[in-house]
A and B are shown apart, each in its own frame.
Chain A
């Protein structure tokens, strides 16, 4: 007992020490006071460097400040969540879910509403980006899809700018890759067909597939798994593609011969969701509130170029970092947001059509 106590006080001392140097010490201390607790929670999130960044920016400081232990585990999976809730044996307290997964889970009554009263004690409503918030989920990261190209193939002014260029196989000859998923392929097909960014939804599915028919014979590689992008770029396998924004940014920073444009990018929001019968739901809500702080978020984006929900976080970032984020003000203006509501409503029909279209040679 004494041992635990002394470790706690040591932690508290460390936190105070760090807080003394941080930008907004008062706030961090308040958060620690409000969110103090005990026990632990299990967070289901994505692996690799992503969870390392989350641990460093959010989870570790949270444990140090509140005494609540964070255990991270393997990938969020809608089917698994459904089975856990059905069998009454829920192992996860917090999940980093894509928008569509959140809406499906909410429809099936598998998750609970976010405790915004608690969140607003830490981050006032006016500080948060409204387009990212949801009743059943608190924004985790925003990420997106961009037009990317090989700079050895299209150098300088010869670079493509829009999806119209991607469809123009005469002006931009070369090896093409698309992500093998109707979302956001339907969106970019419509953009290529001249639909305005803010008039995409509801998507005209017939028109999109017709436009996709045009480009299908020119696609050399269909990317099934976003992990493939790294290999493709490392080896100059593709000249022009629908790229993952995060992976394209990292490739560019590594000095690979790839560049991308935010113009006509499609961004989507992921959310922290709490299962209906999460054993440590209270701790999960506390961690959500902790992550709403601008300081943590500014720390996270240094490691991972994904958008964050607190507007104040953007003031703490360098211009260089900010330019990389899908949700930075100047980038929001040239992209469109993927609408998870439309996708949830039309998923079955579109998916059936997609599989049919995609598997036809």
Chain B
């Protein structure tokens, strides 16, 4: 047996752990090229183009678009949009929290059906769901007919073509996103922590408040960010269910693009909207601690 079959140790003998580390880094860098290129091409370049367009684009540098945006009605539209997004986010959080709690902690047919329902509603087109709300909420709709049949109301209530309809529609469309973000966070919470708190004499409320809720916070924060950001950009639902009473800044952008064909103005409006939303999220991060989302993985 003069020739030795090299075993693992002899093969690795020439490599120090530092070599392995640098090798690993190189592989990581190579693997990251694709996502970095994608991010640059798909996000940074278009954003840069939008910024360039907002300052006049091909026609040369100009602040004209931003000056036009100082008109009071643009400011009012923006304020209303933020208010709408804010209230919808709060409503989604309040409704989604107990729902997600139930799904995460109770395993039965009902909770499986609820999950199925939420997932299916994510697959359906927003436009179709918006129009469905008209059918349900309109004056001859299911809700109004039922209320009158049961003698609760005398005449039809105005449930759609006003802000009520917009809130109902938007909360319904955005709710699954909140539940689906909360659910995995809650599933990951170790039930023994709450049980320990209880066994050490905490009341159920204290155990929830001091143990469960803080642990579910990261899901709530990321869900809120997701819903708020989507709500700010909502177009179809406020336009159709609002009947003119819930005009958002995005509807103004549509008007600028399709009616005025004023691309710099539309770009400037989008940039301002982006900056305002980012500012709000930064403030929110300071208060609620978004780093928890990106913080050390479990």
Structural contact, B261 and A78, CB atoms closer than 8 A: yes
B204 to chain A, nearest CB (A): 46
Given contacts A236-B140, A355-B255, contact A221 B261 (CB under 8 A): no
Structural contact, A221 and B77, CB atoms closer than 8 A: no
**Which residue in B76, B243, B258, B259 is a CB contact (below 8 Å) of A222?**
B243
A226 to chain B, nearest CB (A): 12
Structural contact, A225 and B240, CB atoms closer than 8 A: yes
For residue A2, CB closer than 8 A to chain B, the reply is: no
Report the nearest B residue to A231, measured CB to CB. Answer: B134
Report the nearest A residue to B259, measured CB to CB. Answer: A351
**Which residue in B58, B244, B260, B261 is a CB contact (below 8 Å) of A358?**
B244
For residue B217, CB closer than 8 A to chain A, the reply is: no
- Interface residues on chain A, size class: 20 to 34
Structural contact, A235 and B258, CB atoms closer than 8 A: no
Given contacts A225-B239, A358-B244, contact A86 B58 (CB under 8 A): yes
Q: Which residues of A (48-98) have their CB < 8 Å from a CB of B?
A: 77-79, 82-83, 86
B137 to chain A, nearest CB (A): 11
A110 to chain B, nearest CB (A): 10
Q: State the CA gap A107–B67 with chains docked (Å).
A: 24
For residue A251, CB closer than 8 A to chain B, the reply is: no
Tell me the total A-B contact number using a CB cutoff of 8 A: 70
B131 to chain A, nearest CB (A): 7
- Interface residues on chain B, size class: 20 to 34
Q: State the CA gap A61–B190 with chains docked (Å).
A: 70
Q: Which residues of B (244-264) have their CB < 8 Å from a CB of A?
A: 244-245, 247, 251-252, 255, 257-263
Q: Which residues of B (225-252) have their CB < 8 Å from a CB of A?
A: 239-240, 242-245, 247, 251-252
Structural contact, B240 and A78, CB atoms closer than 8 A: no
Residues of chain A lying within 8 A (CB to CB) of residue B117 = none
Q: State the CA gap A345–B243 with chains docked (Å).
A: 29
SS class, residues of chain B in contact with chain A: helix
Given contacts A86-B58, A235-B138, A359-B76, contact A224 B261 (CB under 8 A): no
For residue B20, CB closer than 8 A to chain A, the reply is: no
A351 to chain B, nearest CB (A): 6
Structural contact, A359 and B258, CB atoms closer than 8 A: no
Residue among A86, A231, A355 facing the most chain B CB atoms (10 A cut-off)? A355
Residues of chain B lying within 8 A (CB to CB) of residue A79 = 257-258, 261, 263
Residues of chain A lying within 8 A (CB to CB) of residue B251 = 224
Structural contact, A221 and B243, CB atoms closer than 8 A: yes
A39 to chain B, nearest CB (A): 30
A173 to chain B, nearest CB (A): 14
For residue B66, CB closer than 8 A to chain A, the reply is: no
Q: Which residues of A (323-361) have their CB < 8 Å from a CB of B?
A: 347-348, 351-352, 355-356, 358-361
For residue A228, CB closer than 8 A to chain B, the reply is: yes
Give per-residue flags for A111-149: 1 if the beta carbon is below 8 A from chain B beta carbons, else 0: 000000000000000000000000000000000000000
Q: State the CA gap A223–B134 with chains docked (Å).
A: 13
Q: State the CA gap A83–B257 with chains docked (Å).
A: 12
Report the nearest A residue to B257, measured CB to CB. Answer: A79
Structural contact, B134 and A352, CB atoms closer than 8 A: no
Q: Which residues of A (218-254) have their CB < 8 Å from a CB of B?
A: 219-225, 228, 231, 235-237
Residues of chain A lying within 8 A (CB to CB) of residue B252 = 355
Report the nearest B residue to A108, measured CB to CB. Answer: B261
B138 to chain A, nearest CB (A): 5
Q: Which residues of A (181-237) have their CB < 8 Å from a CB of B?
A: 219-225, 228, 231, 235-237
For residue A104, CB closer than 8 A to chain B, the reply is: yes
Structural contact, A348 and B260, CB atoms closer than 8 A: yes
Structural contact, A237 and B138, CB atoms closer than 8 A: yes
Residue among A220, A358, A359 facing the most chain B CB atoms (10 A cut-off)? A359
New contact pairs (6) apart from A224-B242, A231-B131, A231-B134, CB-CB < 8 Å: A220-B161, A224-B251, A235-B138, A236-B139, A348-B262, A355-B73
Between-chain CB contacts (< 8 Å), 6 pairs: A77-B258, A83-B263, A237-B139, A347-B260, A359-B77, A361-B245
Q: Which residues of B are in contact with A by a Cβ distance under 8 Å?
A: 58, 71-73, 76-77, 131, 134-135, 138-141, 161, 239-240, 242-245, 247, 251-252, 255, 257-263
User: What 8 pairs across the A-B complex have the smallest Cβ distances?
Assistant: A222-B244, A221-B243, A224-B239, A356-B73, A78-B261, A221-B161, A359-B247, A79-B257
